[in-house]
Structure 1
Amino acid sequence: MTQQIAAQLIRLTQDATTEPGRDPYLSALALAVQADLPVLLWGAPGIGKTATLERLAQDLDLSLETVVASVHDPTDFNGLPIPGADPANNGVPMAPPDWAIRLKHSREGLLFLDELSSATPAVQAALLRVVLERRVGSLPLPSSVRVVAAANPPESAANGWSLAAPLANRFVHLPWRHDPKVVTRGLNGCWPHVRPPELNPDAFPQAVNRARRAVTGFLTVRPDYTHRLPKDDVGKGSAWPSPRTWEMALRLLAFAYASDTDHEALAVALRGAVGDGAALELLAYLEREDLPDPEEVLLQPDLFEIPERGDQVQALLQAVVEVVEVRKTPERWLSAWQVLNRIAEAGPVDLVAGAAVHLAALRERDWPAPVELNAMKGLADLPGLLSCVKEAAA
């Protein structure tokens, strides 16, 4: 009786409600899982990775199978050989473990591989087919089964190992941090939940085409990013660009374009797929692709639409100055000054400061000074800038 009363109190301490989370890492997790990409959550012990996955399974209405990778042998993932009546003709099937059978019978589910960085290299090798091909021994898991793993950094993992490059390259890597405000609110009975992106089927063809153009266009400009294996073990065990991870990035983009995924969550997911450097350059490329054509802007400097965000304005200014530098004529140079002046009139003049210095340095001796310099008087507040511009335009 005493134990039953104690159990009732324990249940009360565990009761909690949920509310939509606004964390970009939560949104990136939901995006990757919905896109059926294996996800690896990196974070220190005790910060809620397992609890997050339990809530994610509830939000997606999926059964959850948790497998602690560090306490299993390779045969638990490769399958146990079970000879049949006629192994000479039928071979020896590799029997899967019970958790794989449960996932097969449920037809859909979430496989959570915990403590991945504490698994030995032999176990990591055995997990390769499980993560990418969803195959355990002789049993193919249902295509609707999602895979999420969690790992502690090697320095904080029990008997930690760096992730092998072939296994690391099969995941979308997401850093997992604790937010004190979220923890406080959760302990008070309300935890954030993951809301999967709302997909619009009518947008699917356009979203896929746009994603293909984005990835192939970027890799055409930066072919050196097609495959870039890090040289150090830490880098190899994290996200890095390869044909496999670019395919992941393409799928993430397609799902983001076909849904209500916000820009920050997409950026987090892309960084987790192809690494920080490649993702940041891809995002800058995409920003520029969404901006007005700099050549069209030069042709009609009074008619182009000024972007709303400051980073987009900077990207447009940089693009305009770069195309003038590639093909310099006095007409194009003066037109670029009109662009700068129009942007300076619409917002803080310091937005155009860097572009003004760069553009001034492109002037040939016989070109006239732009009349727009007199209008951009705010440049005088920036030390040394106005004198630099005047010297170039004198």
Structure 2
Amino acid sequence: MHAQLTVTPARLPDVLLNVAVVRPVFLWGAPGIGKSSMVRQFAASLGLECVSLLGTQLAPEDLIGVPTIVDGRSRFCPPEQIARNSPYVLFLDELNAASPDVQKAFYSLILDRRIGSYELPAGSVVIGAGNRATDQALARPMASALVNRLVHVHLRASPDDWLTWAANNGIHPWVVAYLTQRPDHLWSAPPKTEEPFSTPRSWHMLSDVLHSYGDPVDDETVALLAYATLTPKHAGAFRAYLKVARHAYDLDAIVKGDARWPAEPGDRDLLYFLAETFRARLAKELPADRRHASAGVRQFAFRAKAMLVELAEISLEVAQLVIAEGEDGGTLPSWFLVEAARDLPRLVAART
């Protein structure tokens, strides 16, 4: 399903509080961005138990129940997991990955809050969740009758929300520090091949295994853990970041002129990491229109051009990566690129 509008994890509880209490909600989102955990947190905030049913592991009879004879008539007895006397949050996870027969079994539960003669207690909440077909995940088309029974909310990953959560939930300081510098690495689109990819969940896993190893962790082990959990490019950048931290390399020091780009052949991964971080900083701090640039930003832009010259002296390829189109198709502001093309020859001449 195409997302017209999305919500962040910070906004989701308010949306659920006002919507899910009156109508069943279907929560769309990529794998690993925290849909299940946020539903459980929402249930806890209401003081309700969260009962999770996994669509891919159900058969229709798991919902409808099995017949029993009562007073000479057959009666379907819904499973104990569902048939409760107190209100609760019923979480239908991976609903759109369930077989068509299982999806049909959910119809009356979602629309009428009823299965057979059993009716959900007043105050109960029904929330479904699933991945999109574009996420390379198991997803079946939902029948229009089911689609029309749900309020559809699309969740997106938010680095700011995740870092706020991480600061209060024991996430490893290396992970927090890295994502503070590279928030764009929190999530990456699921690959078409079978390999790890970066999500809030995978960064949480990396944090857990780093905590398990304790300090110190050697570079080879860091690489093993990072490549086992993250998008390969992010894993390499995380490994390089730790080398930066351990060798006292700092982009701010290079910007101020107190340090130089690492130039040794063995420091090439550090150079790539610092260059990518430099580009991300340019993209964040430089406005699209030069007229909106403050004096401090214009001074930073001038220093950035000198840094590009210094970087090109070490590696022209890495310097070109800074001004090239980014992975997301974004480019640096055109005014900066024009000024760089105009001023770089003069800056090169000044250095020689």
Which bin holds the TM-score, normalised by the shorter protein?
Answer: 0.3 to 0.5
* TM-score (norm. length: structure 2): 0.44
The structure whose RCO (Cα within 8 Å, separation 6+) is larger is: 1
Which structure's CA Rg is the greater one? 1
